[in-house]
Structure 1
Amino acid sequence: MALARARNGWVVWATLILALLLGVAPVPQFMEIGRPLWLALFLSFWVLALPHRIGMISAWCLGLVEDVLFGSLLGQNALILTLITFLVLSLHRRLQMFPMWQQSLVLLVVFGIAQLVQLWLNALAGNRPPTLAFVLPALISALLWPWVFAILRALQQRFSVH
């Protein structure tokens, strides 16, 4: 069996770079607490769409870049994104069969677990006192999932990324 050559991989990386930029884009102070997990959303889509090309190594590297951009503890976001990618890869076949609202619910749980781990790491490092507001980015990200999915699916089909 001949190896299929990857087509238009630049689209994947361009969207992931866009997600990094959305993650550091300035927002009003009152919206900062509910900032969506853009990189986790985009990465989850590409892991579902292209599990043979985007995986845990990509998540780890993107997480390190996010750590540098946010100025957080080196490896913290890398660990979180790797955890999200592992969970999405573990649920890959089920998520593809679920309707959109069930995908959003599953991703709410996945992102919630990731936010809980991030809260725990922040508490260990002494950076932030624990609050219940850590669930807000996971909730907003789950609500944005249908739109992110539709936009990235259209890009994938338009540029025939596989």
Structure 2
Amino acid sequence: MRKLWVIVLIVMAGACKSGSSLTTSPSDFENYREDLSGTLPQYPDYKSEMAQLPALPAPESPQAIDEQLKELARQKYERNTSEPYFNGYRILIYSGLDRDLAFKTQEELTEAMPDINPEIQYEQPRYLVKVGRYGHKIEALKLLYDIKSVFPTARIVRDRIQRKDFTLPSQTNDAEGEN
């Protein structure tokens, strides 16, 4: 057993000693060149590839594109006006259970700002006093800042708004439908 330990110790000591010196000088690397051309991706020449592409057809005239845009705008307008409601924004002045307070708030707003027409809505169990019809929130901000001086709790809310000019076919007045 003792011989085995001696042999292992000699082998380990011999393995630790290196045969040559690892110290190198900068002059050892003067002639070093590394060729990576075999591993780099190859890309085709851009100019020669562009020259080989077929010629593009002549662009459409701006008038033709304008006509297409007008047609798309007309279709969008017809689709939008055929719907009785649109999603928009209103300014909520009052929301509460007290009916008398809702009417009082409406009167106060009409006195403070006569050019504004507030509407009262009843959504069970609360009364809402709302102002305006806006497609975008930013449109309502100017009026909101004016109203906040009188009603500091006013805020902008999303609402489903009926179009002013829209009437359902069942809403038209005809003599036969009246009782």
> TM-score scaled by structure 2?
0.21
Question: Does 1 or 2 have the higher relative contact order (CA < 8 Å, sep 6+)?
Answer: 1
Q: Which has the higher strand share?
A: 2
Answer 1 or 2: which has greater helix percent. 1
Larger radius of gyration: 2
TM-score, reference length from structure 1: 0.23
